[in-house]
């Protein structure tokens, strides 16, 4: 039973949690959300959407200014040789080390998540099918993010592959048993999200990866909602392929490029479908015929988005400084706090918690269920509280451990309480 049944109790608990938070000081490193003029002036009071678009670091602006003045402004095209050609791989290695549990030489930063999923799913399908022509199935789930499902559908049509759908419980997510039932001798690739974008369910990545391998297939994990917030030990669990975005918990900014991981053991046998000059073994030879570069470079297609990688570079260093274990621990405290408020103060308005009850099974956000969620979310935005609405009736409370305080979460949820109370 939650004891947080009054606004005072909620505020007092938030103050206690903020005072004990070893990461509290990191908030200062982000660009302020306003000048304290309030929601009437259009300012955000509680940003509860950091799992959709992370806030910018002050250092990101400084680094962008620096690159414009220095590497781009004065070194000009020489910067390609001096630092930019290797940037997708250098930064990929750093993302891999800090957030993914990946040894160097297996991560690249490029494209968008959507494009990267396309490239890797096609590459995986082709590799599995080349090894065994009977493997023509792609396993996906009905609760995965739309882009994952749409790409799988497109590839199935394009490559004469067959889709096998898992239909998980929307309140949780895909289980090992469901995967075991779906895979078999015809499976080529299984595409799943590590953390479910609606419920925040953490799939059993080690168990599912093992089940897929026992069936002789490959797994492609979408890490959009886990990278930078919960541990992802790709090498330790022998994951084959993974993709994720960098604008959520990696604070790369709107449209920042994605990252992609291909286990070293697969790289030589994977052919990605968008074979452009930058993935060529010798891009500047500009000769006839495509010859893939050895290693991760072959997964690059065209000119890398150098400016788009700058904020990500800053955030990865901040995560390294704070340490992923501390970030994960704070994420768990933040979600536990939301659950406590929901089960205390908000339960009397019929608010449900639509994320897993087991803290070990949920990522960095909590989805609250209420029949009027769509309208409530709109009214929260007007009041300077910014969560996300998720179909059919969820208010998604997304917190980012280095930039979100407990007081901010408390204020946001108290505004929600006020809106619900006012409806009488």
Q: Which two tokens stand for residue 254?
A: 């709107």
Residue 166 makes contact with ligand PLP by CB under 6 A? no
Pairing between β-strand 137-141 and β-strand 187-193 as defined by DSSP bridges: parallel
Marked catalytic residue, from 119, 122, 129, 248: 248
Residue 219 makes contact with ligand PLP by CB under 6 A? no
Give the whole-angstrom CA distance, residue 254 versus residue 238. Answer: 31
Pairing between β-strand 352-353 and β-strand 388-390 as defined by DSSP bridges: unpaired
Minimum separation from the CB atom of position 112 to ligand PLP (A): 4
Burial class (CB in 10 A: 0-12, 13-18, 19+), 45: middle
Among 137, 172, 193, 226, binds ligand PLP (CB under 6 A): 193
Minimum separation from the CB atom of position 2 to ligand PLP (A): 29
Give the whole-angstrom CA distance, residue 174 versus residue 176. Answer: 7
Q: Is 248 a catalytic residue?
A: yes
Burial class (CB in 10 A: 0-12, 13-18, 19+), 92: buried
Contacts with 89 (C-beta within 8 Å, 6 or more apart), sequence order: 105, 107, 108, 296, 297
Residue 72 makes contact with ligand PLP by CB under 6 A? no
Residue 143 makes contact with ligand PLP by CB under 6 A? no
Distances (CA, A) of 134 to 125, 129, 192: 11, 7, 22
Q: Which of residues 245-274 bind ligand PLP (CB under 6 A)?
A: 245
Q: Which is nearer to ligand PLP, 148 or 343 (CB)?
A: 148
Distances (CA, A) of 377 to 39, 197, 373: 15, 17, 6
DSSP summary character for residue 83:
I
CA dihedral over 6, 7, 9, 13, signed as positive or negative:
positive
Give the whole-angstrom CA distance, residue 26 versus residue 94. Answer: 20
**Closest by Cα among 221, 248, 315, 256 to 112:** 256
Q: Which is nearer to ligand PLP, 5 or 114 (CB)?
A: 114
Among 21, 49, 178, 222, binds ligand PLP (CB under 6 A): 222
Residue 367 makes contact with ligand PLP by CB under 6 A? no
Q: Which is nearer to ligand PLP, 66 or 361 (CB)?
A: 361
Pairing between β-strand 241-244 and β-strand 258-262 as defined by DSSP bridges: antiparallel
- Return the HEC string of 320-337: HHHCHHHHHHHHHHHHHH
Minimum separation from the CB atom of position 31 to ligand PLP (A): 21
Among 5, 83, 114, 303, binds ligand PLP (CB under 6 A): 114
Q: Which is nearer to ligand PLP, 169 or 282 (CB)?
A: 169
Q: Number of residues interacting with ligand PLP: please give it, by CB under 6 A.
A: 12
Among 2, 83, 147, 293, binds ligand PLP (CB under 6 A): 147
Only segment of 22-30, 106-114, 157-165, 364-372 that touches ligand PLP (CB under 6 A): 106-114
Residue 197 makes contact with ligand PLP by CB under 6 A? yes
Q: Which two tokens stand for residue 162?
A: 């067959």
Q: Which two tokens stand for residue 271?
A: 């052919």
Minimum separation from the CB atom of position 201 to ligand PLP (A): 12
Marked catalytic residue, from 247, 259, 299, 406: 247
Q: Which is nearer to ligand PLP, 113 or 328 (CB)?
A: 113
Q: Is 247 a catalytic residue?
A: yes
Residue 224 makes contact with ligand PLP by CB under 6 A? yes
Q: Which is nearer to ligand PLP, 225 or 297 (CB)?
A: 225
Only segment of 13-21, 142-150, 310-318, 403-411 that touches ligand PLP (CB under 6 A): 142-150
Q: Is 396 a catalytic residue?
A: yes
| Cα within 13 Å of Cα(207), Cβ side | 10
User: Do residues 315 and 251 make contact, with C-beta atoms less than 8 angstroms apart?
Assistant: yes
Q: Which is nearer to ligand PLP, 302 or 323 (CB)?
A: 302
Minimum separation from the CB atom of position 158 to ligand PLP (A): 18
Marked catalytic residue, from 11, 86, 145, 361: 145
Among 79, 106, 113, 405, binds ligand PLP (CB under 6 A): 113
Q: Which residues bind ligand PLP (CB under 6 A)?
A: 112-114, 145, 147-148, 193, 197, 222, 224-225, 245
Catalytic residues: 145, 222, 247-248, 396
């Amino acid at each position: 039973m939650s004891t947080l049944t009054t606004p005072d109790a909620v505020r007092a608990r938030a103050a206690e949690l903020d005072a004990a938070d070893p990461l509290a000081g990191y908030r200062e490193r982000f660009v302020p959300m306003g000048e304290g003029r309030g929601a009437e002036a259009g300012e955000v009071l509680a940003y509860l959407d950091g799992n959709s678009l992370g806030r910018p670091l002050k250092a990101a602006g400084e680094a962008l200014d620096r690159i414009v003045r220095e590497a781009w402004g004065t070194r000009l095209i020489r910067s390609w040789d001096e630092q930019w050609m290797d940037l997708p791989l250098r930064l990929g290695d750093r993302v891999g080390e800090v957030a993914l549990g990946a040894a160097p030489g297996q991560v690249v930063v490029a494209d968008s998540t959507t494009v990267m999923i396309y490239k890797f799913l096609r590459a995986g399908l082709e590799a599995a099918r080349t090894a065994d022509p009977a493997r023509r199935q792609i396993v996906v789930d009905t609760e995965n993010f739309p882009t994952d499902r749409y790409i799988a559908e497109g590839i199935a049509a394009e490559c004469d592959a067959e889709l096998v759908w898992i239909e998980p419980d929307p309140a949780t997510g895909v289980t090992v048993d469901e995967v075991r039932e779906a895979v078999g001798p015809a499976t080529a690739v299984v595409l799943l999200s590590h953390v479910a974008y609606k419920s925040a369910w953490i799939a059993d990545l080690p168990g599912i990866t093992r089940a897929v391998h026992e069936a002789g297939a490959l797994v492609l994990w979408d890490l959009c909602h886990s990278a930078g917030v919960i541990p992802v030990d790709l090498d330790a669990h022998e994951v084959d392929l993974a993709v994720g975005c960098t604008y959520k918990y990696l604070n790369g900014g709107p449209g920042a490029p994605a990252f992609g991981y291909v286990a070293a053991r697969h790289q030589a046998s994977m052919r990605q479908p968008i074979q452009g000059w930058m993935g060529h073994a010798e891009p500047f030879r500009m000769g006839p015929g495509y010859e893939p570069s050895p290693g991760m470079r072959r997964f690059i297609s065209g000119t890398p988005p150098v400016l788009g990688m700058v904020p990500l570079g800053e955030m990865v260093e901040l995560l390294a400084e704070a340490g992923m274990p501390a970030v994960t621990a704070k994420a768990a405290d933040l979600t536990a706090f939301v659950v406590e408020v929901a089960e205390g103060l908000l339960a009397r308005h019929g608010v449900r918690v639509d994320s897993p009850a087991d803290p070990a099974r949920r990522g960095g956000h909590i989805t609250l269920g209420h029949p009027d969620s769509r309208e409530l979310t709109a009214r929260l935005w007007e009041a300077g509280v910014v969560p996300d609405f998720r179909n059919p009736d969820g208010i998604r409370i997304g917190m980012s451990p280095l930039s979100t305080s407990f007081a901010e979460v408390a204020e946001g949820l108290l505004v929600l309480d006020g809106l619900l109370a006012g409806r009488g």
